[in-house]
Amino acid sequence: MSATSQCRICDGTVKEFIDLGRQPLSDAFVVPGEEKKEFFFRLATGICDTCTMVQLMEEVPRDLMFHEAYPYLSSGSAVMRTHFGELAKRFLTTELTGEDPFIVELGCNDGIMLKAVAEAGVRQLGVEPSGSVADLAAAKGIRVRKDFFEEATAIDIREHDGPADVIYAANTLCHIPYMDSILKGVTQLLGPNGVFVFEDPYLGDIVERTSFDQIYDEHFFFFTARSVQEMAQRNGLELVDVERIPVHGGEVRYTLALAGARKPTEAVAELLAWEAERKLADYATLERFAANVKKIKEDLIALLTKLRAEGKRVVGYGATAKSATVTNFCGITPDLVEFISDTTPAKQGRLSPGQHIPVREYREFADDHPEYALLFAWNHADEIMNAEQGFRDSGGQWIRYVPNVHVS
Ligand code: SAM
Ligand code: TMP
Ligand code: ZN
């Protein structure tokens, strides 16, 4: 009998399909000497047998993840800066063209998207609980509220600023287990013809690519068009558009409107049909995914163990939150991966969560190329590989584990 929990969307029964074991907080990089202070939880996911929402079996308290020292900086990738700049332009020329329009972003982080909106002089508000990244957004001239978005926050914003034309969230909605409060807030803050747009890693891509490292403490939900449609319906909203986008290893951008306010596009029906054809909501599909994950673990450990026996140097590239899942699930220790190179100042000089692999400045990778780089930031592969021609020229090879373990 596999474990069950209660669905955070519909109170139905969530049946577990994968257990990734005891895991630390994925973004809690450890100060050397403080290894004993780490928080651990059981990382496992299941699917609700009523509304089909895939979700974590155990929830981590939000204050442990999103606080003053939250280290993730959205603007660390040039591709992501372009991605969000283009979306801001699109909002400015479509949804934000009325009289004195207003956009609210949940999880605006360092202001990567709202920067262009503020520069265009359009009314905006970023809601961001993680203090240090919120400060970076404020420094860009963006209006920021240091807070968790939830129903009470939404009511307060509506009282002071009036209704929103756009409520937007990128890589944030899937981080929030208390969806009931979020959607109640959205329906109260949204203007009558407003849209709630959010983009998050897509379960369809995760299953197709076996990208199991998308599963970590911060990623509570794994959406599909079907589960989002059901979630919207239960809360007086309607799924009116979907768009598959290539960033972060495959995401979907969902557009919700108040029920009946907008006509759903063809794309919604098409994605629903695609999901049905792939049997994305079938337990057996998810069990196959779990079997593929097990194979990646075996192959990756076999490769790293062989390279160690041959005396080869392997360095990790990108101390991603995803890498916490990979290193802790597979048992990748500092004797297999010498250090992880990362450009984020708040991660450097620290140890990776759980396995305590040192995180070092990018310069240390560039100044003394190893024989192999294990690409933890595989979602930025094109950007990184283009920039790292010198590594390749020096004879370096990339190790990747999505969709399977391969060296190139
Ligand atoms: N939107 C950015 C992007 O796509 O790069 C940042 C994504 S980051 C992975 C998730 C962000 O959501 C964090 O900055 C975190 O502090 C924020 N967050 C978490 N819970 C939130 C909530 N209830 N309301 C608003 N932001 C939240
Ligand atoms: P993400 O996959 O969650 O966006 O995290 C990417 C991590 O990789 C982040 O810590 C920054 C780091 N990184 C580099 O070190 N070099 C790079 O060229 C890129 C794009 C990211
Ligand atoms: Zn459910």
- ipTM of the assembly? 0.98
Instruction: State yes or no: pLDDT of 341 exceeds 80.
Output: yes
Strands in 302-402 per DSSP E? 314-317, 340-341, 359-360, 372-375, 397-400
106 C-alpha vs ligand 1 centroid, how far in Å?
Answer: 6
> Is residue 148 within 6 Å of ligand 1 at its C-beta?
yes
For ligand 1, atom 5: residue with the closest CA: 74
Mutation to probe ligand 2, out of 174, 342, 391 (largest number of atoms < 8 A from CB): 342
DSSP state of 350: S
Residues 286-321: pLDDT tens digits? 999 999 999 999 999 999 999 999 999 999 999 999
**Could you say which ligand is closest to the alpha carbon of residue 175?**
1
109 C-alpha vs ligand 1 centroid, how far in Å?
Answer: 6
Res. 217 pLDDT band, cuts 50 70 90: very high
Instruction: State yes or no: pLDDT of 352 exceeds 90.
Output: yes
Instruction: State yes or no: pLDDT of 377 exceeds 80.
Output: yes
Q: What is the mean pLDDT of residues 36-58?
A: 97
- What pLDDT is attached to residue 152? 98
Contacts of 363 (CB under 8 A, 6+ apart): none
Instruction: State yes or no: pLDDT of 45 exceeds 60.
Output: yes
- What pLDDT is attached to residue 17? 98
> What is the number of the ligand 2 atom nearest to the C-alpha of 318?
8
233 C-alpha vs ligand 3 centroid, how far in Å?
Answer: 12
274 C-alpha vs ligand 2 centroid, how far in Å?
Answer: 31
Instruction: State yes or no: pLDDT of 332 exceeds 70.
Output: yes
374 C-alpha vs ligand 1 centroid, how far in Å?
Answer: 27
Q: What is the mean pLDDT of residues 126-137?
A: 98
> Is residue 185 within 6 Å of ligand 1 at its C-beta?
no
- What pLDDT is attached to residue 2? 76
Percent of the chain with pLDDT over 70: 100
The Cα-based distances of 297 to 25, 142, 352 in angstroms read 20, 43, 19
> Is residue 379 within 6 Å of ligand 2 at its C-beta?
yes
Q: Are 268 and 240 in contact (CB under 8 A)?
A: yes
> What is the number of the ligand 1 atom nearest to the C-alpha of 106?
25
For ligand 2, atom 19: residue with the closest CA: 77
The Cα-based distances of 392 to 304, 362, 399 in angstroms read 19, 16, 12
- pTM of the predicted model as reported, rounded to 2 decimal places: 0.97
> What is the number of the ligand 1 atom nearest to the C-alpha of 153?
24
289 C-alpha vs ligand 2 centroid, how far in Å?
Answer: 26
Q: By C-alpha distance, which of 149, 163, 173 is closest to 228? A: 173
- What pLDDT is attached to residue 1? 53
Using CA atoms, how far apart are residues 298 and 35, in angstroms rounded to an integer?
A: 27
Using CA atoms, how far apart are residues 146 and 168, in angstroms rounded to an integer?
A: 16
For ligand 2, atom 18: residue with the closest CA: 384
**Could you say which ligand is closest to the alpha carbon of residue 251?**
1
Mean pLDDT of the chain: 98
